[in-house]
Structure 1
Amino acid sequence: MAYSTALSQGISILLFIHAMAEERCYSYLSTKVISEQLNIPVPTTAKVIRNLNSAQLTIAKEGAKGGIMLARPLSEITFFDVFLAVEPGKALFKIHTDVNLQGQQVDEVKQKIVDHLSAAELAMQESLKEMKLTDLLE
């Protein structure tokens, strides 16, 4: 797969923010606290959080009492929402079709490769859409 660990990091960050809010420990969590508790480097945490903010899964508040909080309930966030936030515009498979071979059979094989990998990507997306983050807590 061509994906980074950002999907699992994004899920972990959202679950951690939810858990801290549930315990009423914090309304907003700092990037530093999230980074330390989840053992994700601060620059990586900041990048993932920027993506989560851009996708409106989290809200950032500046200032001394600022930090990050969920933009909506965890029960409304799917794996696919997180995936779209942290892997924007990336295809699952990078397909190599630039070959020197020519002919109808070569073109048919290349098309079959594209078709099968596209179908696999759609199946993965559908699976991610069905799983809510709260499913992990049950």
Structure 2
Amino acid sequence: MAYSTALSQGISILLYIHSISEEQCFNFLSTKVISEQLNIPVPTTVKVLRSLSNARLTVAKEGAKGGVLLARPLSEMTLLDVFLAVEPGKALFKIHTDVALQGKEVDEVKQRIFTHLDKAELAMQNSLKEVRLTDLLK
């Protein structure tokens, strides 16, 4: 697979922000605290948080009392939302097509490979769309 660990890190970050904001009633969380508590390096945490913010899953506030909050309730976020935030535009499968063989049969085989792998990727995305982040807390 071509995906990084950013998906599981993004899910963990969102679940952590949710749990802490429930306990402490709406405080912004610092990147450093998130990084330390989830054992994710600070640069990686910053990168994942930037992706989550760009996708409008989190809101960031600069300054001494700044940090990160969820942009909307966890119940309104799906695994697909997180996936699309942290892996934008990446194809699930990298396909080798640079072969010396040529001809109609080779082209037909390549097309069948593309068709089946695209179908698998669509099935994965549909599966991710069905799972709300709150489902992970049950």
Query: Structure 1 regions of 5+ residues with no counterpart?
Result: none
Query: Structure 2 regions of 5+ residues with no counterpart?
Result: none
CA distance in 1, matches of 2:61, 2:115: 44
CA distance in 2, matches of 1:51, 1:134: 20
Which letter maps to 2:47? K
Partner residue, 1:69: 69
- Per the TM alignment, residue 105 of structure 1 is displaced from its structure 2 partner at its CA by 1.0
CA distance in 1, matches of 2:96, 2:113: 9
Q: What do the CA deviations read for 1:61-102 (whole angstroms, capped 9, x no partner)?
A: 011110000000000000000001000110100111121101
Partner residue, 1:87: 87
Residue 24 in 1 paired to residue 24 in 2? yes
Identity in percent: 77
Comparing 23-32 with 90-99, which one deviates more in the overlay?
A: 23-32
Partner residue, 1:11: 11
Which letter maps to 1:110? K
Which letter maps to 1:137? L
Partner residue, 2:127: 127
Q: Secondary structure at the match of 1:2?
A: coil
Which letter maps to 1:106? V
TM-score (norm 2): 0.98
Q: What do the CA deviations read for 1:28-74 (whole angstroms, capped 9, x no partner)?
A: 00000000000000000000000000000000001111000000000
CA distance in 2, matches of 1:104, 1:31: 54
CA distance in 2, matches of 1:49, 1:73: 16
CA distance in 2, matches of 1:25, 1:44: 26
Partner residue, 2:60: 60
Residue 41 in 1 paired to residue 62 in 2? no
Q: Secondary structure at the match of 2:115?
A: helix
Which letter maps to 1:34? I
CA distance in 2, matches of 1:125, 1:51: 18
CA distance in 1, matches of 2:123, 2:26: 38
